[in-house]
Structures are given as C-alpha cells and as structure tokens.
Amino acid sequence: MERHPLDGRPYEAIEAQIGYLVDTDEKPTFFHSYEPGVPTQHTGTRELRAMPVRNGRTMEESFTLALNGFCIVPHHSAVTDFYDDAQLSGVYDHEVEALVREKMGATRVVVFDHTRRSSDQSLRAANNSREPASVAHTDYTDWSAAKRLGEIVPDADPARRYAIVNVWRPITLDPCESWPLALCDGRAVDTSYMRAVQRRTIDRVGESRHSTFDVRHRWIYFPRMTRDEAIILKNYDTIDDGRTAKQALHVSFDDPTSPPDAKPRESIETRTFVFFD
C-alpha cells in the first residue's frame, strides 16, 4: 500500500506502463487522417516507463482544477447516442458549456471540438473515431492556443485570461474497464520536461506538448468510470500566478488489472474555450 507524499495517508496504486516522448532534439510530427480507421502516424521516439498510478477513488483528497488541473464530477447527460452528431450539437454542447462554466467560474464557454476514441480497431473504423492517446501530453502550446483562439473565437481579446478545458467521459453503458485515462497532478509537472510536437491534418497545422520522463510525475486514475461521470481537465490556461495549475498532463494506459473479458474503451472528449470576463 503506497502512502500520500504530503500526509502519509495510504491509498491504492497499480504499476502501469506510461508512454513518454524521448528527447532527441528533433521536433516530432503527428499526422491525423480523417479516413475512418486510419491510425495516427508520427515521427519521433517514444518509450514506456513503469510508473505508479494511484486510484483517485481511494484518495481522500479532493481534486480541483485550480490546484491539480483536473477534477472528476458526477454528470448525467441527456444524450442517448454519443455517435449522433445532431445530439452533440443540439444537447451535449449546452450541457458541457453549463458544466464548465460552473466548475471554472467562467462567464463564457465555447465548445469547439468533439473527439471520439476507441481501443478497438473495428470500432474506430465503423465510427470514425481515433485510438486512445498513448503518450503523456497536453493539447496546446502558447502558439497553437492563440492560433486556435483566433480561428474559433475571433472576437476574443487574447490579452485577457482564457483557458482551454476538456470534458472527457466514457460513452458505453458498461463501466470503462480498459485503457483508462491517467492524469498527472499539476503540482508535479515541470514544464522543462515538455516538448512541442507539430500536429498536422489535411487542412490544419497545430502544436501540442509531449512530456519526456520525469520520475516526480504523480499519476492518478479513476477506475471503472461510467457515462454518468466526467473528468474535466485543463489543457491550457493563460493565468500565471504561480499557484493555479496551468495544465494537466494526461495519457491513456493499458491497465494491468483489466479483466480478460473487458470490453473496448469508447470515450468522447470535448474541447472548450473558457473566458472569465
């Protein structure tokens, strides 16, 4: 039984392989295809490192966006089919905007992207979804966040505080038992270990940040998440007060405790721009 580094309380942890970027002084590139079932291609070198991943459900602390960069909340959605784009735009966008506005204390929230993922190749091909992200990362750099802001919310003032926040949830009726999402406590993220990675599609160029290995990382996951729960995580925040978490590294991992008959993971992540005045 591991113990919390701050106060010595016990909690459960598993050892899992976490994907990291290897720093070779080369800027890696990701190539995303819009063709159903076509996997993401990438340059650069990756490695797997064995790391403890703590069970957030057994930890007495409350995770917050301000302190840790993420939180988990109960959240029922009226959406019955998360593969139905009409339900996403007609129902889910409004639900997500209200949820993020409440949890971030925001005055305005703009949904701008949905990404569905599955750990099963046949489901990816059938539903035009992507594979789980397998390297520790955040979705934006300073450059790509400002670029995307200008594309999505051109009337926003980039000199004022804004954030990019994701809402992640499983979308199957059964609990998620394979390839769960792990999140790194924002207090344990040293940005000097992070590297810019170019992201390319047929019509857009962006950047994300991938992390090289840091033994100080503190990984947390929430096993058997249901579609009535959501993880809210920061991908980017312009605030720089030395106290507030600016991002949450995240990654999917092959859970060694998954049952042999675990169903494939199916999930959706929704990206939002968040404004405060």
Q: What is the pLDDT of residues 156-213, one digit of tens each?
A: 999 999 999 999 999 999 999 999 999 999 999 999 999 999 988 888 899 999 999 9
pLDDT at residue 9 in the model: 47
In terms of Cβ atoms closer than 10 Å to its own Cβ (0-12, 13-18, 19+), residue 261 is exposed
Average pLDDT over residues 29-35: 78
Is the pTM above the cut of 0.85?
A: yes
Instruction: Please check whether residue 44 is in contact with residue 53, taking contact to mean a CB–CB distance below 8 angstroms.
Output: no
**pLDDT-derived band at 4, boundaries 50, 70, 90:** very low
Domain limits of the chain?
Answer: 11-275
What distances in angstroms separate CA 275 from CA 75, 121, 139, 141, 206, one per listed residue?
22, 37, 18, 18, 21
Q: Which residues contact 159 (CB under 8 A, 6 or more apart)?
A: none
- Give the residue carrying structure tokens 């076509």: 38
pLDDT at residue 30 in the model: 79
Average pLDDT over residues 7-19: 78
With vertex at residue 71, the alpha carbon angle to CA 193 and CA 90, rounded to the nearest 5 degrees, is 110
pLDDT at 11 over 70: no
How does pLDDT run across 53-72, given as a tens digit for each residue? 999 999 877 899 999 999 99
How does pLDDT run across 210-267, given as a tens digit for each residue? 999 999 999 999 999 999 999 999 999 999 999 999 999 999 999 999 999 999 999 9
pLDDT at residue 35 in the model: 74
Average pLDDT, the chain: 93
Average pLDDT over residues 137-160: 97
Instruction: Please check whether residue 225 is in contact with residue 74, taking contact to mean a CB–CB distance below 8 angstroms.
Output: no
Neighbours of 45 (CB within 10 A): 12
pLDDT at residue 5 in the model: 46
pLDDT at 270 over 60: yes
Average pLDDT over residues 82-93: 98
The full length of the chain comes to 277
**Nearest in space to 256 (alpha carbons), one of 6, 3, 18, 80:** 18
pLDDT at residue 42 in the model: 82
Segment among 37-46, 88-97, 207-216, 227-236 with least mean pLDDT: 37-46
**pLDDT-derived band at 21, boundaries 50, 70, 90:** very high
pLDDT at residue 40 in the model: 77
Instruction: Please check whether residue 146 is in contact with residue 153, taking contact to mean a CB–CB distance below 8 angstroms.
Output: no
